[in-house]
Chain A
Amino acid sequence: MNESCKETRELLPELALGILGGEERARALDHLTSCTDCSSELAALSRAADGLLTLAPQHEPPAGFEDRVLARLRRELPQHRARRFMTFAAAAALIAIVAGGVVWVGTAHDRRLGSYYQRILAIQHGTELAAARLETTDRLPGGEAFTYQGRPSWLFVVVTAPVGDGVYDIVGTVHGAAVRLGVIHIAHGRGDWGGTTSTEMKSVDEIRVVTRTGQLVLHGTVQHN
């Protein structure tokens, strides 16, 4: 542990509690970007600080609370839905394109399909639509992933595989590094997830679905242009 570590360790308890400010906070964060030992220490302290909140007395909310929260969610729903709908509408268009992709490659002279592809891309300033077939570790078919490079870029993953019910991470490989792209809930061997991402989808070489502990469940290579 060097001097910089020692100085940072003094600040970590306050940082974990979210009460460190200004210059001290900036100094600690600067050190943490390059020190894995201090980052682990911060994670341990944060677990304690956040865990404390679960000890707070529980209290029944006033009558009608549940209805008021649901009413509020419903009021916000159109906006929320609209964002999701855009993603899924674009995904549906993409799936149509990928399904037609084999024909498109096979009959390159088919300009009509080419211009259709261009028009679809233009909807979200896109430069590429790509897909990956997902396989289980036993090389059985496990679903598909569709990627879109545009503004915004997005990813849509469909899983149909005999894997256990639960929540899994969707991870992309970008130049050999793993980037977490989303979370998928799989039940009865089926699940789907779609969302926008700031990750450059044209740089994602592989899509993987992994358990919370990082164990590989499904993977597929992204077929770029």
Chain B
Amino acid sequence: MMWSVSDEALLAGLASGESDAAVAFIRRFQRRVYGLAMTILNDSAAAEDVAQETLARAWRHAGAYDPRRGPVATWLLTIARNLAIDALRLRRADPVDPSALVSLQGMSAEAGPEERAVVGDDAHRLHEALRALPEDQRRALVLAAFYGQTAREIGESENIPLGTAKTRIRAAMIKLRGSLQMEDDEREL
């Protein structure tokens, strides 16, 4: 039964200390959380540390999750992203290579085998919008969204003026936001 409950109910079970809920929660989200950490860090030991800490934090702070601010998967992945970026900043000497993500390798809007449709329509829309972006905008966006690079850092690494980096990030984000807006408008019709 635990396998068919909603993400929110599973998180509530986790918060109340049910051990079945903890196992089901880990199984449901481990591939996403570890996958994101691995994408950012490209180091299996460091990615496992981040994934473990992410799940432990979710367990500790399950009661603070606010469903109005987004799906459980997204909440969990923002925790993982922030932890992975912290880890990345500690090893400055080993710069990231965003090329795989920029070329959309492995990027998918599909749910994993243990998941219900945890991420909904947003993922499909965002995937399409990301694919449609000019490569320079997609690159700036990937560096910001996944690797936490600031506009100044992107300007330096891409060898472009700060203003251009900011413009690329902004243009990309406005298109992505527009793709979700379109979806909402369609739903209302």
Given A44-B181, A47-B180, A73-B56, the answer on whether A57 and B22 have CB atoms closer than 8 Å is no
* Residues from chain A with Cβ under 8 Å of B34 in the complex: 59-61, 65
Given A55-B107, A55-B108, A56-B107, the answer on whether A69 and B55 have CB atoms closer than 8 Å is yes
* Residues from chain B with Cβ under 8 Å of A65 in the complex: 30, 34, 48, 51-52
Q: Give chain B's interface residue range (CB within 8 Å of chain A).
A: 35 or more
* Residues from chain B with Cβ under 8 Å of A52 in the complex: 126, 130, 141, 145-146, 176
Do residues B109 and A55 form an inter-chain contact, with CB atoms below 8 A? yes
Do residues B66 and A180 form an inter-chain contact, with CB atoms below 8 A? yes
A13 to B150, CA, bound (A): 12
Closest to A187 in B: B9
* Residues from chain A with Cβ under 8 Å of B102 in the complex: none
Q: For chain B, residues 151 to 170, give those with C-beta under 8 angstroms from any C-beta of chain A.
A: 151, 166, 169-170
A61 to B66, CA, bound (A): 27
A81 to B16, CA, bound (A): 10
* Residues from chain B with Cβ under 8 Å of A123 in the complex: none
- Classify the secondary structure of A's interface with B: helix
A185 contact from B16, B66, B78, Cβ within 8 A: B16
Do residues A58 and B35 form an inter-chain contact, with CB atoms below 8 A? yes
Do residues A56 and B31 form an inter-chain contact, with CB atoms below 8 A? no
* Residues from chain A with Cβ under 8 Å of B65 in the complex: 183
A45 within 8 A of B: yes
A179 within 8 A of B: no
A50 to B146, CA, bound (A): 10
Interface size on A, residues (CB 8 A): 51
Do residues B27 and A18 form an inter-chain contact, with CB atoms below 8 A? no
| Interface flags, B73-116, vs A, CB<8A=1, else 0 | 11001101110000000000000000001000111110010000
| Interface flags, B8-50, vs A, CB<8A=1, else 0 | 1100110111000011001100111011101100001001100
Closest to A18 in B: B148
Do residues A62 and B48 form an inter-chain contact, with CB atoms below 8 A? yes
Q: For chain B, residues 172 to 189, give those with C-beta under 8 angstroms from any C-beta of chain A.
A: 172-174, 176-177, 179-181
Do residues B177 and A19 form an inter-chain contact, with CB atoms below 8 A? no
B134 within 8 A of A: no
Do residues A56 and B66 form an inter-chain contact, with CB atoms below 8 A? no
Given A13-B170, A66-B23, A212-B68, the answer on whether A54 and B150 have CB atoms closer than 8 Å is no
B59 within 8 A of A: yes
Closest to B142 in A: A52
A72 to B58, CA, bound (A): 13
* Residues from chain B with Cβ under 8 Å of A76 in the complex: 56, 59-60
Do residues A167 and B177 form an inter-chain contact, with CB atoms below 8 A? no
Do residues B145 and A66 form an inter-chain contact, with CB atoms below 8 A? no
* Residues from chain A with Cβ under 8 Å of B17 in the complex: 77, 80-81, 84
Query: Which among B9, B109, B145, B174 has the greatest number of chain A C-beta atoms within 10 A?
Result: B145
Do residues A66 and B81 form an inter-chain contact, with CB atoms below 8 A? no
Do residues B30 and A47 form an inter-chain contact, with CB atoms below 8 A? no
Do residues B77 and A54 form an inter-chain contact, with CB atoms below 8 A? yes
A176 within 8 A of B: no
A182 within 8 A of B: yes
A139 within 8 A of B: no
Do residues B112 and A58 form an inter-chain contact, with CB atoms below 8 A? yes
Q: List 20 A-B contacts (CB under 8 A).
A: A10-B170, A13-B169, A14-B144, A14-B169, A17-B144, A19-B150, A45-B177, A48-B176, A48-B180, A50-B78, A53-B74, A55-B107, A58-B31, A66-B30, A73-B55, A76-B59, A166-B9, A167-B8, A167-B67, A187-B9
